[in-house]
Structure 1
Amino acid sequence: MKHLVEIFRSSRKEEMYLYVEKANGLKDVPEILMKQFGEPESVMTLVLEPTRKLARVSTAEVLEGLERNGFFLQMPPTAAELLRREGSRE
């Protein structure tokens, strides 16, 4: 099944992103999360389906979060992930 998803970047935390169904916007995101997230900046709209690959997160996880919560929060990478990312560039 295809989903039209809008992705927002956090104004408070680098590399934190919020995925929502484009049709619903941010209405399903809890107020407390929005306060911590800061001013959302729309960065991309895309058609998301199970076969699509994403850079840092599993498509299945995003789709599950959208179905369960109405949104998916992608957290910034951990120190270990950053080290692996740097190691793969060499």
Structure 2
Amino acid sequence: MQCFVYRSTRRDDTYLLTDRGETFEHIPGELLQHLGRLEFAFEFALTPERSLARTDGRTVIDHIERNGYYLQMPDRDYEST
């Protein structure tokens, strides 16, 4: 699966991952408002075996197939430092 990663301009260390490129109609409006403007960060080939910074490829693929996106947010420990 080709995965597109967008950085939130409003929330530090928060990323939206999707397989649809710059099409955000499938993302809930309330979530888009919360994230602010989204900046394209990068694109990569996502496989179930791929290890990511805070999760694994299978989890991201499952979320994208079910919801159309995966939201990566900072860990609670990170937010409190």
TM-score category, normalised to shorter length = 0.7 to 0.9
**Identical aligned residues as a percent:** 31
Take 2:58 and 2:7, find their aligned partners in 1: how far apart are those partners?
20
| TM-score of the aligned structures, taking structure 2 as reference length | 0.86
The answer for the alignment partner of 2:51 in structure 1 is 53
| TM-score of the aligned structures, taking structure 1 as reference length | 0.79
State the 1:22 CA deviation: 3.4
Q: Is the 8 A contact 1:6 1:21 kept in 2?
A: yes
In the alignment of these two chains, the number of paired residues is 78
Task: Give 1:33-72 correspondences, 5 Å limit.
Answer: 33-72=31-70
Gaps of at least 5 residues in structure 1 are 83-90
Whichever residue aligns with residue 24 of structure 2, its letter is L
RMSD between aligned alpha carbons?
A: 1.4
State the 1:59 CA deviation: 1.5
User: In terms of mean alpha carbon deviation, does 39-48 or 15-24 score higher?
Assistant: 15-24
Task: Give 1:1-90 correspondences, 5 Å limit.
Answer: 3-23=1-21, 25-79=23-77, 82=78
